[in-house]
Chain A
Amino acid sequence: MELTGADILVRSLQDEGVEYVFGYPGGAALHIYDALYQQDKVKHILARHEQGAGHAADGYARSSGKPGVVLVTSGPGATNVVTPVATAYMDSIPLVVITAQVPSHLIGDDAFQEVDAVGITRPCVKHNFLVKDVRDLATTIKKAFHLATTGRPGPVVLDVPKDITAFKTKYVYPKSVSMRSYQPVTEGHPGQIRKAVQLLLNAKRPIIYSGGGVIASESSDKLIELVRTLGHPITSTLMGLGAYPAEDPLFIGMLGMHGTYEANLAMHECDVMLCVGARFDDRVTGDTKKFSPHAKIIHIDVDPSSISKTIACDVPIVGSASTVLDIMNDQLKESGKKPDAESLGKWWSQINGWRKVDCLNYDRDSEIIKPQFVVEKLYEVSGGDAFVTSDVGQHQMFAAQYYKFNKPRRWINSGGLGTMGFGMPAAMGVQFAHPDETVACITGEGSIQMCIQELSTCKQYDLPLNIINLNNRYLGMVRQWQEFFYDRRYSHSYMDALPDFVGLAESYGHIGIKIEKPADVEGALKEALNDKSRLYFLDFITDQKENVFPMIPAGAGHHEMQLSPRNSGQDGEERELA
């Protein structure tokens, strides 16, 4: 029997095991939406904006490990989804994004709602396709899923002209697909791995620096085994939080621009560094010329182009973190050797000295709500077990610093692209993937307004999210930089004319609570988290002057980090705003 392209598309998604498609209909996508209507295996989630649909699919993917699927129409549908595609690309998240296209014979005519989706998305996708023949449709979908989920994962865009979705052909969904031009390396070179293990065993001041690649390759357990066998200190990138339990004593906190004092100094002073599944991003390295001057660097990455891109590495290992860590653990077991206890002990006492600085200390007795306090309370009230999404800015850093992530895939944020507006739609995707879990979105009054319309989607699908709005009436991170580097000229960082968030949440059919005193924080969080049936919008009125510390200013090295005034003895200094 022959099927239309639209039916083939939907059948392919079914056969691929897709549970949810996040999307928004429109003219060129109507055949596909009609095919969706006539089945119930693939559930379609209607967002209120294509950007919301894209981020929701992304949150679904990040929290479940399965690819997220997006369906949008041509033209503005496609351009609205570019931000989520770029967000997923920067963080290596598997997405399959289907953009409908005007009929083939109109392509290039500046037709209604026509845009060159393949051209526009080319620089921010792992790969993209324009389907030109209905007979290629099923195979191309299979290729899209294969590309999105293997090697270094990433978004794949599939542009499907409307006429292709009407033409008929025989439907066969390939079980597997092989592409001669795409053969990602997964096994690391055994000789290199042996060298790496030797270096780690002989290190006097080692550090393990892990990133999102450990989460993407589901290698958390293997990393834990390696770190505990060696007894080495471990730090994590923003993207890697949760891969190693934050409460474990070997974990010395996040590194980088807003990393802990102990993590950054350990990075600076180390003699051997094992980087696994991270990419020496500029927010991690600071000034590359001052980066870890004494270190021999081992770098495990599935993407060869990540190796020696910004930081030259001594022992490159191209392979999946999963297989390489397996082999390292095996070699360590076989050798039976242990790192030298004496030098490691000295190193740890140096690190513990840095730890005593207590760089994340803040005023816990403040009469104004401190943003850090809200995050700490959320951690306590949720038992450290919530899925936490965030937007971008100060609140994102506070979330990363003060919520101790002990499991992978619990911390969902836009690390690479830094997309404001990501948090709430991503939280929707997380809640779909984990309907019985607590999902919190830590956000700010700036970011939340970038995708606020998704409150309506949450109502339609009864998503009991907990929106933690850290409302300081400022674009906090912008304000912080203006305070430090622009002589307190607060150019357009003040958010005037904010909505009444409680009333706003209620008008969407949710529960809104405004919290103005530290004493009310815990109660509000408990009320929200205990109610598993309603969305709570908690509007915390927080300290306008709070800054994120520690901080490595642009152009500085890890050892040149600025501590908070509390740590550097300048506490109590009056600072003026606006």
Chain B
Amino acid sequence: MRHIISILMENEAGALSRVAGLFSARGYNIESLTVAPTEDPTLSRMTLVTRGTDDVIEQIKKQLNKLVDVVKLVDLVESRHIEREISLIKVRATGTVRDEILRLTEIFRGRIIDVTDTSYTLELTGNCGKIDAFLRAVPNDAIIEVVRSGVLGIARGERGLKL
């Protein structure tokens, strides 16, 4: 099953490599990983998407907690949560495809953020499924480049991952 693990960790040099090293050393897989400082500059927040059986996920959480730089973590999938991913997509937009892409972008509530005579660059935010669906809808040969941020997640309601 897919899990989204949200981690608060010390904003120290090497903290990211400790997490990445743990996953490669123990053979866990990482589907996506994002990290940035939080409103408290001494802390970073990492969102990590992984897959595994319940036993493996339990071990992943224990091993992450064991890292000295990790302050706190939560598995967002355990309760109601929201996940979002941002993507920047550059497409070849000429002839009839140009109108089609514009329509698709509206349907998916994306925004065109750069235009040339032959291309559009658009921004699309949503859960992974929505971005995947958009990419399937666009004619395959039209896509020039896709950049995805990896998943960000937050719990619903008042609860927050804080110190």
Contact = CB atoms under 8 A, between A and B. Distances in A.
Given A180-B163, A303-B66, A122 B10 contact: no
B58 A181 contact: no
A17 interface: no
B66 A130 contact: no
A304 B62 contact: yes
12 contacts: A118-B14, A119-B17, A122-B14, A122-B18, A127-B68, A179-B68, A180-B71, A181-B68, A181-B70, A305-B59, A305-B62, A307-B62
Interface of A: 118-119, 122-123, 126-127, 130, 147, 179-182, 303-305, 307-309, 312
Contacts of B70: 181
Given A180-B71, A181-B9, A181-B69, A123 B59 contact: no
Given A123-B21, A181-B69, A181-B71, 12 more contacts: A118-B14, A119-B14, A122-B14, A122-B17, A126-B68, A127-B68, A180-B163, A181-B68, A304-B62, A304-B66, A305-B66, A312-B55
Contacts of A303: 66
A307 B58 CA distance: 10
- Top 4 closest pairs, chain A to chain B, by CB: A305-B62, A127-B68, A181-B71, A304-B62
Contacts of A118: 14
A97 B9 CA distance: 24
B79 to A, nearest CB: 21
Contacts of B147: none
Interface string B3-29: 000000110011001100100010000
Contacts of B21: 122-123
A307 B63 CA distance: 11
B37 to A, nearest CB: 16
Given A180-B163, A181-B9, A305-B63, A130 B14 contact: yes
Nearest to B58: A308
Contacts of B25: 123
Interface of B: 9-10, 13-14, 17-18, 21, 25, 55, 58-59, 62-63, 65-66, 68-71, 163
Contact of A181 (B10, B14, B55, B59): B10
A122 B17 CA distance: 9
Contacts of B163: 180
A304 B65 contact: yes
Contacts, number: 38
A492 B59 CA distance: 39
A130 B12 CA distance: 10
In this complex, which of B18, B21, B66 has the most chain A Cβ atoms within 10 angstroms of its Cβ? B66
A531 B68 CA distance: 47
Contacts of B62: 304-305, 307
B162 to A, nearest CB: 12
B155 to A, nearest CB: 21
Contacts of A308: 55, 58
B1 to A, nearest CB: 18
A419 B30 CA distance: 32
B13 A147 contact: no
A179 B21 CA distance: 22
A279 B48 CA distance: 28
Nearest to A179: B68
Nearest to B63: A305
Given A304-B62, A305-B59, A182 B17 contact: no
A300 to B, nearest CB: 16
In this complex, which of B55, B59, B62 has the most chain A Cβ atoms within 10 angstroms of its Cβ? B62
Contacts of B69: 181
Contacts of A122: 14, 17-18, 21
Nearest to A123: B25
Nearest to A183: B71
A323 B27 CA distance: 34
B143 to A, nearest CB: 37
Nearest to A303: B66
B72 to A, nearest CB: 8
Nearest to B12: A129
A147 B17 CA distance: 20
Contacts of A304: 62, 65-66
Nearest to A118: B14
A130 B13 CA distance: 9
A304 to B, nearest CB: 5
A234 B18 CA distance: 38
Nearest to A156: B68
B68 to A, nearest CB: 4
A122 B12 CA distance: 14
In this complex, which of A179, A181, A182, A308 has the most chain B Cβ atoms within 10 angstroms of its Cβ? A181
A147 B68 contact: yes
B61 to A, nearest CB: 9
